[in-house]
Amino acid sequence: MSKYTEDDLKVELENKEYEYGFYTELESETFPVGLNEDIVRAISLKKEEPEWMTEWRLEAFRAWQEMIEPEWANVHYDKPDFQAISYYSAPKKADPNKTLDDVDPELLAMYKKLGISVDEQKRMNNVAIDIVVDSVSVATTFKKTLNEKGIIFCSISEAIKEHPELVRKHLGTVVPQKDNFYAALNSAVFSDGSFCYIPKGVRCPMELSTYFRINQGGTGQFERTLLIADEGSYVSYLEGCTAPSRDENQLHAAVVELIAMDNAEIKYSTVQNWYPGNKEGKGGVFNFVTKRGLCEKGAKISWTQVETGSAVTWKYPSCILKGDNSIGEFYSIAVTNNFQQADTGTKMVHLGKNTKSTIISKGISAGKSQNSYRGLVQIGSRADNARNFSQCDSLLMGNNCGAHTFPYIESKNTSAKIEHEATTSKIGEDQVFYCNQRGIPTEKAIALIVNGFSREVLNKLPMEFAVEAQKLLEISLEGSVG
């Protein structure tokens, strides 16, 4: 009797090529490889930055030189050679001042392949997009509509020029230059990224969105995102990432800083689909990202992530719950296949009274991959009545992968309540048979069960993104399903 087994699925998955693995021939301007103070200065000069910014970068660079690259127990890879990377690569034809109509048709064709045709997005959805290819922000749509509300949404380079007072005041306040090895590197060499400011009491009428893509070979991408939600404001922000397939490992070291002032709310959603390497584990992106948000009184930051790409992911979107009554949330789906390694989780630092945090993490491992949840819940002595609930579930597919849970729970407050639960399971044969009996083939049954397993997190994504995320889950795990 022919039966489609989990093993068949595994084989199929391993043979499934990376769907976004195309490379667009764009004329790029790329700096020589290597990193020194001159390169840092050159990046700053190229971007016509004010002197304070140059100094800020140099300060970070000097700190970085003194730092040691972190070692992680459950992630193994050959460390990148930081002198073999080019730290600046811009599509030559990009000019931040032009309108969408002037955008290089080849670029537009690339977006279309990505499924994010700017025109289409503009027409169909209420989504304003900033697209960063390699290092430079290419075009920001919807600027006018946003301007009317006083919302600033532009590339960080533009913000440094146009809104230096905001950038200077907030940049590096949540993730300091010296926070960690990769944050320091990013602070020194970041070439672009997004900036967003929502004024007091304004509810951003549309989802703001950024797409990142590494195109040029031998380059690293170091984008920097700074998002400030002023008192009582609200914004939902989406971030998508892809890279073409290449044999060598590419480095992506981003920093994202969120500031939610009193009673503000930020929803930050990421769908990360950098090239994961081929089925032998060759190539792929090293995704070493520092994401952190600061919550003032009554503020709320909610991180949602769907991580399906990258050869190695090292990422802990975190919340500093400084203000009383502030709320932090982390919803994550991490899928690893073949030789991918993911070490991801969150830190919830409770400083204020009555602060609450929720962590829901769903890890799915297949192939020969390793998938770890690493998280910290810390309750300070002043954080009376702090509450945390954490749930970490792992699903293993096949017997060559690993699923790991490393929660750190630290409490110094007698009135705090913390609950942590973790489970590990596989897809039950009885579940598959039940689906089969109702006419659902095994492959589809597995997709259905995986989707069910991830539903709590998928539900947290904005509509437009949820569909894409579901599709990505299928691509990275479920072979031809869908």
Partner 1 sequence: MLKISNLHASVEDKEILKGINLEIKAGEVHAIMGPNGAGKSTLSSIIAGNETYEVTDGEIVLDGEDLSELAPEERAHKGVFLSFQYPVEIPGVSVTNFIKTAINEKRKANGQTEMPANEMLKMIREKSELLEMDRKFLSRSLNEGFSGGEKKRNEIFQMAMLEPKIAILDETDSGLDIDALRIVANGVNKLKNENNAVLVITHYQRLLDYIIPDFVHVLMDGKIVKTGGADLALELEEKGYDWIKQEQEA
Partner 2 sequence: MDLKEKLVSSFMAFEGKIEADDELHAIRSQAIKNFENKGFPTKKEEAWKYTSLNAVLKNDFSVFPKKENSIEFKDVKKYFLHEIDTYKVVFIDGVFSSFLSSTTHDGLDVCLMASALTKPKYKMVIDTYFNQIASKEESLTTLNTAFALEGAYINIPKSKVVEKPIEIIYFSTGNEAALMVQPRNLVIVGENAHVQIVERHQSLNENPVLTNSVTEIFAQKRAIVDYYKVQNDVQTANLIDNTYIAQKQESRVAVHTFSFGGNITRNNLNFYHQGERIDSTLKGITIIGDKQHVDHYTLVQHATPNCESHQNYKTILDGQSNGVFNGKIFVEKEAQKTDAFQQNNNILLSDKATINAKPQLEIFADDVKCSHGCTIGQLDEDAMFYMQQRGIPKKEAKALLMYAFTSEVTSSIKIPELKAKIAKIIATKLNVNMGFDL
Residues that bind partner 2 (CB under 8 A): 73, 379, 381, 394, 396-426
| Cα separation of the two ends of the chain | 24
Binding partner at 76 among partner 2, partner 1, none, C-beta below 5 to 8 Å by kind:
none
Shortest distance in whole angstroms from residue 353 CB to partner 2: 13
Cβ neighbours for 414, distance < 8 A, ≥ 6 positions apart: none
- Among the candidate windows 36-44, 166-174, 368-376, 444-452, which touches partner 1 by CB under 8 A? 444-452
Paired strand residues for 296:
none
Q: Say how far apart CA 427 and CA 158 lie, in whole Å.
A: 49
* Token pair listed for 209: 């969105």
Among 38, 120, 434, 480, binds partner 1 (CB under 8 A): 434
Paired strand residues for 336:
365
Q: Say how far apart CA 224 and CA 191 lie, in whole Å.
A: 8
What type of residue is 173?
A: T
Among 115, 444, 464, 468, binds partner 1 (CB under 8 A): 444
Instruction: Map residue 94 onto helix, strand or coil.
Output: coil
Is 4 or 77 the residue whose CB approaches partner 1 more closely? 4
- Among the candidate windows 9-17, 266-274, 336-344, 439-447, which touches partner 1 by CB under 8 A? 439-447
Longest dimension (CA), the chain: 73
Radius of gyration of the chain (CA): 22
Is 201 or 452 the residue whose CB approaches partner 1 more closely? 452
C-beta separation of 274 from 245 below 8 A: no
Q: Say how far apart CA 313 and CA 333 lie, in whole Å.
A: 13
Is 177 or 442 the residue whose CB approaches partner 1 more closely? 442
2: contact with partner 1 by CB under 8 A: yes
Is 126 or 425 the residue whose CB approaches partner 1 more closely? 425
86: contact with partner 1 by CB under 8 A: no
Considering only residues 4 through 63, tell me which ones interact with partner 1, judged by CB under 8 A: 4
**To which H or E segment does residue 437 belong?**
helix 429-437
482: contact with partner 1 by CB under 8 A: no
* Token pair listed for 46: 């190229």
Shortest distance in whole angstroms from residue 99 CB to partner 1: 39
Shortest distance in whole angstroms from residue 435 CB to partner 1: 8
Shortest distance in whole angstroms from residue 454 CB to partner 1: 7
C-beta separation of 209 from 178 below 8 A: no
Binding partner at 2 among partner 1, partner 2, none, C-beta below 5 to 8 Å by kind:
partner 1
Site of interaction with partner 1 (CB under 8 A) = 1-4, 428, 430-431, 433-442, 444, 448-449, 451-456
